[in-house]
Amino acid sequence: MSETTVLITGATAGIGAACARRYAAEGARLVLAGRRADRLQALKESLGGKAEVLTLAFDVRQREAVTEAIETLPKPFAALDILVNNAGLALGLEPAYKVALDDWEAMIDTNVKGLVYCARAVLPGMVARDRGHIVNLGSVAGNYPYPGGTVYGGTKAFVHQFSLALRADLLGSRVRVSCIEPGMVETEFSEVRFRGDKGRAKQVYAGMQPMSADDIADSIAWCTSRPPHLNINTLELMPVAQAFGPFAVKRAGS
């Protein structure tokens, strides 16, 4: 992939950082984006010169910052081949009637608006070059509801439908779109959801084997390495230890 340029958002941890390591190992040119410049620099140094790397510190929730970052990429990095639209988060598990509206807004701003800003910024160049691949990070939460996942699940349902509709808009071009929808992955995800409570976050994965960030990075790399005439529309992944339950029923007296 030495001639391939990959932009990864949310690259400072978890799936984003794992994707950076995976694509670097394959020789791709990397644009690593995130809010924390120190972490981006540490990640760049950890790659040990395996790839050309440009780091960009910006918040995907800031529309103007996203647009400026993409439009002013230096020449070696400007022709983006792959966007891994990974930046996202969940906040809290409170029921809808108790949740803080600020948490809902933060999820919508990041998971929906931030993802859309990044996709829109790279699309004109990809269409003009008649090549490219946008990989949007969804979730099984967008397909299957759970208590406390009201807005997080809603944002990921948007990502799923946005990805399918984007494919429809791009018919006739060779730009591909995939939506990756993981189940339980042990990263900083739960620590962020529970505002740094490491003990509570650890309990989410207690007694079972979740997927790893590297598992998801491997799946993303597989999607983007398919022959150019083939598009993976949606890829849903869950650990073997995670499955489905019956409908919940509230019975009188219980």
pLDDT at 237: 98
CB-CB contact of 241 with 208 (8 Å): yes
pLDDT in tens, 81-127: 999 999 999 999 999 999 999 999 999 999 999 999 999 999 999 99
CB-CB contact of 9 with 84 (8 Å): yes
CA angle 127–115–27, rounded 5-degree value: 65
pLDDT in tens, 143-196: 999 999 999 999 999 999 999 999 999 999 999 999 999 999 999 999 999 999
CB-CB contact of 35 with 11 (8 Å): no
The encoded tokens of residue 61 equal 């929730």
For the chain, list the domains and their CATH numbers: 5-184+213-237 (3.40.50.720)
- Average the pLDDT over 52-65 and give the result: 96
Which amino acid is it at 204?
A: V
pLDDT at 48: 85
pLDDT at 1: 78
Phi, psi for 214 (deg, rounded to 5): -65, -35
pLDDT at 253: 86
- Average the pLDDT over 189-213 and give the result: 95
Tell me what the pLDDT averaged over the chain comes to.
96
Enzyme catalytic residues: 152
